[in-house]
């Protein structure tokens, strides 16, 4: 079985393919089309055409805004021995089952580009990647994806009228995958910016870009989901569509029926590297914020709480006395960080930020990132079976630690077995506490039964049960004995903490 991958959609220039595809949509109870003259239809936006005929006609949109969509060529000079790792590196744990879902297209050797030339391994080899973009101001500012121009030495922009310009990269933000380019030109055609919050699942959308290098290719589909959170893409609530998007579409605009740009096409879900029904776009309101920051300061400031969070499920909700799984469960708090200073604790469930509900752990990072460092925020948490409001001074974002699946080494001291939980544990030695910067905890030496089914492993350190710190083997046994059908164990694994729900029923 071929591995599924989520793929950034830029493509090497040397790719040459033959395409044959069709897009068929069946509709029941569609009003009978009215006869409209071609010139009249071309002047209509798709929404108007749909109202008159029952079927959208995108020709007016393409004719009006197509000239503002550009082709981008990004040239690189890379070492063959390091090119694959630098252009195809996955910032995830290889043990993570989602590791293979992410792969970024670019002009690296071995993917259809930059393979020729003399020198052999270790030699400098030119590589050219193609992508798309769109003009947002008549004086030459262009939006595209950061991965399209990543490490580029020369960036060239080609307009639909065949004019070409050398572009300057004003800034690129890898967290959001948004980049801003500038070309020296005036009176350029521009797109119209829309509001993605007003769009609905099921509405028609249109993509224009350069898939496989075929300039200004138009494809259409519908919005299939909104605010889609993707693994390792913490700061972007993606718009999911079924618009055919392929390598080279990266950085191109996603239009609504009114001809407004509501997103930047960025990623596809695929088993083959080509389109298979799922594509993802960065909401344009998020991209405009990044654009403004890059033009003004050259970088993007994001807020930080200083916590590690994880998702909730029904077992965890039961353990913390919640009726339903919602919010983001705090598994660890950075010592001295903004959350720690405000009194947040492991075991708190963050349910709202400044009054805006936190639906799950994947939505919290983007909500926090949108706050200005130094600003004050109200964080609503669920603690001890009741809601509590805390005031937090937001910090500046930095990389957060996450738990991995690696195991630690056991010790040789006597251990105690808890039959109901299914673990053999022992107290930490003074040396282990010092090495791991822990003041308490029980080291798991063996795991079976309910604990093993929940993912508890030898080498994990049990720190708390249902948010209550564990300091001794006897205390753990007592807590498990008097627990209900489920408990939440806070464990330390490597250098990160995570809550693990355990079903004892």
Question: Which among 9, 57, 132, 147 is annotated as catalytic?
Answer: 147
Question: Which among 9, 176, 199, 250 is annotated as catalytic?
Answer: 250
Known binding residue 28? Answer is: no
- Output DSSP code: residue 211: G
Exposure of 460 by Cβ count < 10 A (0-12 exposed, 13-18 middle, 19+ buried)? buried
User: Residue 147 catalytic?
Assistant: yes
- Integer angstrom CA distances of residue 200 from 252, 284, 344: 20, 15, 36
Known binding residue 177? Answer is: yes
Question: Which among 150, 177, 242, 460 is annotated as catalytic?
Answer: 177
Beta-strand runs (E) in 191-277: 192-193, 204-209, 217-230, 233-241, 253-255, 260-270
Q: Contact at 8 Å (CB) between 400 and 407? A: no
User: Residue 177 catalytic?
Assistant: yes
- CA triplet 164, 14, 251: central angle to 5 degrees? 55
- Output DSSP code: residue 83: H
Helices (H), ranges, 192-347:
284-297, 314-319, 338-342
Known binding residue 249? Answer is: yes
- Integer angstrom CA distances of residue 471 from 377, 379, 413, 465: 34, 29, 16, 11
Known binding residue 332? Answer is: no
Tokens encoding 193 = 């910016």
- Integer angstrom CA distances of residue 48 from 55, 56, 204, 248, 258: 10, 8, 13, 30, 8
Q: Which residues of 60-85 are buried (b: 16+ CB within 10 A; e: fewer)?
A: bbbebbbbbbbbbbbbbebebeebee
Phi, psi of 428 (to 5 degrees): -75, 145
Tokens encoding 353 = 């930020």
Known binding residue 466? Answer is: no
Rounded Cα distance between 285 and 263, Å, is 8
Annotated binding-site residues read: 147, 177, 248-250
Catalytic residues: 147, 177, 250
Annotated binding-site residues for substrate read: 147, 177, 248-250
């Amino acid at each position: 079985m071929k591995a599924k991958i989520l793929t950034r959609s830029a493509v090497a220039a040397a790719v040459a393919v033959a395409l044959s595809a069709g897009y068929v949509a069946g509709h029941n109870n569609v009003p009978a089309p009215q006869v409209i003259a071609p010139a009249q239809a071309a002047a209509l936006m798709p929404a108007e055409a749909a109202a008159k005929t029952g079927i959208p006609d995108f020709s007016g949109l393409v004719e009006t805004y197509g000239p503002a969509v550009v082709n981008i060529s990004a040239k690189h000079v890379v070492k063959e021995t390091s090119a694959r790792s630098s252009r195809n590196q996955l910032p995830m744990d290889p043990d993570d089952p989602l590791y293979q879902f992410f792969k970024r297209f670019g002009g690296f050797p071995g993917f259809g580009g930059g393979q020729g030339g003399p020198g052999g391994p270790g030699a400098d080899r030119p590589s050219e990647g193609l992508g798309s973009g769109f003009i947002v101001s008549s004086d030459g500012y262009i939006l595209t994806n950061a991965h399209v121009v990543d490490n580029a030495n020369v960036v060239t922009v080609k307009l639909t009228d065949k004019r070409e310009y050398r572009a300057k990269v004003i800034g690129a933000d890898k967290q959001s995958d948004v980049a801003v380019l500038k070309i020296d030109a005036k009176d350029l055609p521009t797109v119209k910016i829309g509001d993605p919050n007003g769009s609905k699942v099921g509405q028609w959308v249109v993509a224009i870009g350069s898939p496989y290098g075929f300039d200004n290719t138009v494809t259409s589909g519908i919005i299939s989901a909104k605010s889609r959170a993707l693994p390792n893409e913490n700061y972007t609530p993606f718009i999911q569509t079924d618009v055919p998007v392929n390598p080279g579409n990266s950085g191109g605009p996603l239009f609504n029926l009114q001809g407004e740009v509501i997103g930047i096409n960025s990623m596809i879900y695929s088993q083959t590297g080509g389109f298979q029904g799922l594509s993802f776009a960065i909401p344009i309101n998020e991209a405009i914020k990044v654009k403004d920051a890059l033009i003004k300061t050259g970088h993007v400031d994001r807020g930080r709480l200083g916590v590690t969070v994880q998702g909730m499920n029904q077992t965890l909700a039961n353990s913390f006395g919640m009726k339903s799984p919602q919010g983001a469960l705090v598994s660890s708090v950075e010592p001295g960080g903004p959350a720690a200073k405000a009194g947040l604790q492991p075991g708190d469930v963050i349910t709202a930020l400044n009054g805006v509900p936190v639906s799950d752990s994947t939505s919290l990072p983007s909500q926090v990132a949108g706050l200005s460092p130094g600003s004050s925020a109200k964080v609503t948490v669920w603690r001890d079976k009741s809601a509590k409001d805390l005031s937090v001074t937001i910090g500046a974002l930095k990389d957060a630690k996450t738990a991995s699946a690696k195991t630690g080494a056991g010790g040789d001291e006597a251990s105690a077995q808890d039959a109901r939980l299914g673990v053999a544990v022992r107290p930490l030695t003074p040396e282990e506490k010092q090495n791991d910067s822990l003041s308490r905890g029980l080291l798991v030496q063996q795991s079976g039964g309910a604990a093993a089914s929940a993912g508890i492993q030898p080498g994990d350190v049990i720190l708390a049960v249902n948010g209550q710190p564990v300091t001794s083997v006897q205390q753990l046994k007592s807590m498990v004995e008097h627990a209900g059908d489920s408990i939440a164990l806070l464990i330390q694994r490597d250098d990160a903490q995570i809550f693990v729900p355990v079903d004892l029923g």
